[in-house]
Structure 1
Amino acid sequence: MNKVLIVDASESDRRLMSGLLVKSGYEPIAVETMEAAKDEVAKLPPGAVIVTAMTFVRGTAQELVNWQKREGYTFPVIAVVDNLNPLEIADVMKGWGAVDIIQRLAMDKQLVETVVRYVSPEKALLILPNVLIPRQSEAFRRIGLSIRTIAATNANAIIFGECGTGKEQIARQIYMHSSRAQKPCTVIEAGGAALVGQHDPTTLRSEIYNRIESCFKKADGGTIILKNIHLLNFDKQTVLLHILENEHPDVRVICTAEPELLKMVSEKTFRPNLFYILRQIDIAVPPLREVTEDIATLSEYFLASYSNSMGADQKRLDASALKELKVYPFPGNVRELKDVVLFAAFHTSADVITASDLNFSQSEPAPNSSLNLQDPTMEKAKINAALKQAQGNKTMAAKLLNIDRTTLYIKMRQYGLK
């Protein structure tokens, strides 16, 4: 939990500030003297913030800042000021290094929103367990049925879906519900370092062969989850194919892959014979923009997990926030939804998150299924998709399509869309 050091001679104000910060998920440390402040600064973790009165017992804010500089500490200092004029405030911030100020009379309104600008947002990056989050869409009801059906077999499987859709969690569910659940499960990143090993001159085998074979031996009788198999280079594909075809290990392989794998197979950059050995059965996971009915359920789950980790009351999304979340395309899918919702929870002092609290990334690459109107033969389908995603709202649909509302009406008439 992010720490905030409060240095103030007023016991009532220390109590007030501590209460406001605790409610917003911070861990306040309140002291009244210079000696105690120095002791606590030395123990502060990275990302902490100092909130200090202009004067306190046996010290001043400027003396504390100067001591920080001499000792090599760089924690942001926010000054609590009492009715200073603009010139005096400028001197506080420029003359001795405060990053910001809070008016004491407006402490209840300014404290949290000021602290949040300078504290490290580490806790917004909540690490969630590898579990399948309950969802309400029909698509995921069918996926749940597929998980149980596949788990009852011994077939290899590929889970297809865009980045961030939860493919690995689905693969783990298949393993956990299978007859191999009491045997080892090894998770390997196809594009990672796990498949790089040492060359063994005594066997004349390549390092890739030794490493892949060792993974199968480790998982004997169990399951290997091979993530992102579209990242396997041709050498690794060849070794994997040889092991599966010739050594027949007692291992079930569940793979995850992005949709580009299908194109790679057709272009022969991924070996078709390996593909069909691995894809004895498959599951296609829809992107979040196609199952927007799941957004409310997922968001509530993330907020509950965040609340538990912070030891704070759970926040909720209002109608305006849910509306914005449902219209945003989420190229990063569920993973991106989690980050957007938790970032808003971390930076919002209120119990209710509104649309204005949401911060969508401006640097996301557009997915291949972007709703931009580029190919005339696809326009009708894309307009229908945009209208569905915007729940019939023409202004939002036009925004998704990167056209104006008038052009959207023209296109709708052109294709006979209501």
Structure 2
Amino acid sequence: MNKILIIDASDSDCRLMSGLLTRAGYEPIAVENLEAAKDEVEKLPPGAVIVTAMKFTRGTAQELINWQKREGYRFPVIAIVDNLNPNDLLELMRSGGTVDAIQRPAIDKQLVETVQKYIMDIESVSHDNELIHRPSKEFQRIEREITRIAAADANVIIFGESGMGKEQIAREIFRQSNRTDKPLIVIEAGGAALVGEHKPDSEKSEMYNRIGGYFKKAARGTIILKNVHLLNFDKQSVVLHILSEDHPDVRVICTAEPELLEMVSDKSFRSNLFFNLREMDITVKPLRKVTEDIEPVAEFYLMQYAKEHNEPEKNLDQSAVKALNKHDWPGNIRELKNVIQLAAGNVVGNLITSSDLSISRSSPDIPDTMRLRDPKVEKQRIADALTQTSGNITQAAKLLGISRTTLTYKIKQSGLKSDLK
């Protein structure tokens, strides 16, 4: 639950704001003077927001902002203004202190909506979202690309296999951009967040309102759209409409598996949306092609495990390093993390050997004979794959070497839908 620090000398307004924020699902903390505010800021978790009066007991909003900057805190500050004085507010904005303002007489109407613009998910700063710095030339290239793209303020697609840290790269682009003081919204394209019925003849459909709501919440900020290749055709249409017709001031950073390019080619992903989203791009090679990064990444997770469990850091012996380097890592960095953390938790002593590593040697194998390469026999290949998998579209897609979304589209095109179980 996100915490909101309220600093105001008015007891009645503090109670009003606390009640509004509690009902909205936040955890308010109310204080009335500068010293108490400093104490609370030091305890605030990531993702918190500060709501403060311009003047309060023994302090002002400007004093709090100056203190925050000296101490290195970067919590968004929303000012409560009694009489909207453009000069005072402009001075606060110029100093990089406040992100927005609420007029005191309109607290009940403006508070929750304004706070929602700047609240950040607490999980956005967890260890799982750290960008792991690695020594390979490939990763050094990616770091240069991140810096270049962050400054360009363009929409981006980050291509790469599952488990290669695409979201971490997306977040690093955000952190290096000029939008860091604005909202960051992270959405899983294949998740429940975008579920809703789409009615093409109505812009007020549930799906349109839901997706449009995220863009409004992210105004002047950034949306990270994870696994954009999982958007179905209706959702693609809604996102395209929002980008091309509403022109929101929102930067969109997408992650996608390489199959997105195939989906654009076979028209299961709208090319006009693709080019709206891919103004710039980064391609991340799989771990098996950047083997010099395997050992440093493993050591990073050993260090992280030691910190989280308050234990001495464990080390890899040469047999363990050799075993790690021999594996293909079909699950990439995510798989490596799981193997390392499992070994760190189970090993006796502080030295990890190859026998302590639980590396799975089984991975999905895509028979070359089942891949869709010849359009003339495509329908029969799809039918054969569906027969082999008893109509299971997900398993059939794996046999054919394409995405589930692409296969569903091809099934409809080929008229095989009635044969599905």
Q: What is the TM-score when the length of structure 2 is the normalising length?
A: 0.56
- State the percentage of identical aligned residues: 57
User: Equivalents in 2 of 1:136, 1:163: separation in Å?
Assistant: 21
Cα offset for 1:199? Answer: 8.3
AA aligned opposite 2:291: T
Secondary structure of the 1:159 match is strand
Task: Report the counterpart of residue 287 of structure 1 in structure 2.
Answer: 286
Secondary structure of the 1:365 match is coil
Cα offset for 1:207? Answer: 1.2
User: Equivalents in 1 of 2:203, 2:341: separation in Å?
Assistant: 51
**Deviation readout 1:332-363 (Å, 9 max, x if unpaired):** 10000000111111111021111111111255
Contact conserved, 2:146 with 2:173, CA < 8 A, in 1?
yes
Task: Report the counterpart of residue 99 of structure 1 in structure 2.
Answer: none
Task: Report the counterpart of residue 166 of structure 1 in structure 2.
Answer: 165
Task: Report the counterpart of residue 181 of structure 1 in structure 2.
Answer: 180
User: Equivalents in 1 of 2:336, 2:321: separation in Å?
Assistant: 11
Contact conserved, 2:189 with 2:226, CA < 8 A, in 1?
yes
AA aligned opposite 2:240: L
Cα offset for 1:205? Answer: 1.9
User: Equivalents in 1 of 2:162, 2:309: separation in Å?
Assistant: 28
Task: Report the counterpart of residue 260 of structure 1 in structure 2.
Answer: 259
AA aligned opposite 1:223: T
Check if 1:221 corresponds to 2:223. Answer: no
User: Equivalents in 1 of 2:198, 2:235: separation in Å?
Assistant: 14
Alignment of 1:47-86 (within 5 A): none
AA aligned opposite 1:275: F
AA aligned opposite 1:208: M
User: Equivalents in 2 of 1:374, 1:169: separation in Å?
Assistant: 34
Alignment of 1:19-58 (within 5 A): none
User: Equivalents in 2 of 1:211, 1:144: separation in Å?
Assistant: 34
Task: Report the counterpart of residue 208 of structure 2 in structure 1.
Answer: 209
CA separation of 1:374 and 1:295: change in aligned 2, threshold 3 A: farther
User: Equivalents in 2 of 1:152, 1:146: separation in Å?
Assistant: 10
AA aligned opposite 1:190: A
Cα offset for 1:128? Answer: 3.0
Contact conserved, 2:198 with 2:208, CA < 8 A, in 1?
no
Task: Report the counterpart of residue 233 of structure 2 in structure 1.
Answer: 234
Contact conserved, 2:159 with 2:166, CA < 8 A, in 1?
yes
Task: Report the counterpart of residue 151 of structure 1 in structure 2.
Answer: 150
Secondary structure of the 1:129 match is helix
User: Equivalents in 2 of 1:250, 1:301: separation in Å?
Assistant: 37
CA separation of 1:199 and 1:141: change in aligned 2, threshold 3 A: closer
User: Equivalents in 2 of 1:276, 1:374: separation in Å?
Assistant: 30
User: Equivalents in 1 of 2:196, 2:232: separation in Å?
Assistant: 15
User: Equivalents in 2 of 1:249, 1:373: separation in Å?
Assistant: 46
Alignment of 1:110-125 (within 5 A): none
Task: Report the counterpart of residue 301 of structure 1 in structure 2.
Answer: 300
Secondary structure of the 1:152 match is helix
Secondary structure of the 1:244 match is helix
Cα offset for 1:129? Answer: 3.4
Please list every run of at least 4 consecutive aligned residues from structure 1 whose deviation after the TM superposition is greater than 4 angstroms: 197-200, 372-375
What is the root-mean-square deviation of aligned Cα atoms in Å? 2.2
AA aligned opposite 1:173: E
Greater relative CO, 1 or 2 (CA 8 Å, sep 6+): 1
User: Equivalents in 1 of 2:203, 2:230: separation in Å?
Assistant: 26
Secondary structure of the 2:281 match is strand
Q: What is the TM-score when the length of structure 1 is the normalising length?
A: 0.56
Contact conserved, 2:156 with 2:254, CA < 8 A, in 1?
yes
Secondary structure of the 2:157 match is strand
AA aligned opposite 1:164: G
AA aligned opposite 1:212: I
User: Equivalents in 1 of 2:183, 2:168: separation in Å?
Assistant: 16
User: Equivalents in 1 of 2:362, 2:192: separation in Å?
Assistant: 28
**Deviation readout 1:129-170 (Å, 9 max, x if unpaired):** 311011000000000000000000111000000000000000
Secondary structure of the 2:129 match is coil
Cα offset for 1:373? Answer: 12
User: Equivalents in 2 of 1:356, 1:182: separation in Å?
Assistant: 48
Task: Report the counterpart of residue 336 of structure 1 in structure 2.
Answer: 335
Task: Report the counterpart of residue 113 of structure 2 in structure 1.
Answer: none
Cα offset for 1:295? Answer: 1.0
User: Equivalents in 1 of 2:164, 2:263: separation in Å?
Assistant: 21
**Deviation readout 1:81-140 (Å, 9 max, x if unpaired):** xxxxxxxxxxxxxxxxxxxxxxxxxxxxxxxxxxxxxxxxxxxxxx83311011000000
Secondary structure of the 1:224 match is strand
Cα offset for 1:241? Answer: 0.5
User: Equivalents in 1 of 2:186, 2:203: separation in Å?
Assistant: 27
Task: Report the counterpart of residue 139 of structure 2 in structure 1.
Answer: 140
CA separation of 1:373 and 1:206: change in aligned 2, threshold 3 A: closer
AA aligned opposite 1:135: R
User: Equivalents in 2 of 1:300, 1:373: separation in Å?
Assistant: 40
Structure 1, 203-212 or 276-285: larger mean CA deviation: 203-212
User: Equivalents in 1 of 2:180, 2:264: separation in Å?
Assistant: 31
**Deviation readout 1:173-213 (Å, 9 max, x if unpaired):** 0011001111001000000011125889xx76221111110
User: Equivalents in 2 of 1:292, 1:306: separation in Å?
Assistant: 22
How many residue pairs get aligned? The number is 244
Task: Report the counterpart of residue 79 of structure 2 in structure 1.
Answer: none
Contact conserved, 2:198 with 2:234, CA < 8 A, in 1?
no
Task: Report the counterpart of residue 128 of structure 2 in structure 1.
Answer: 129
Secondary structure of the 1:334 match is helix
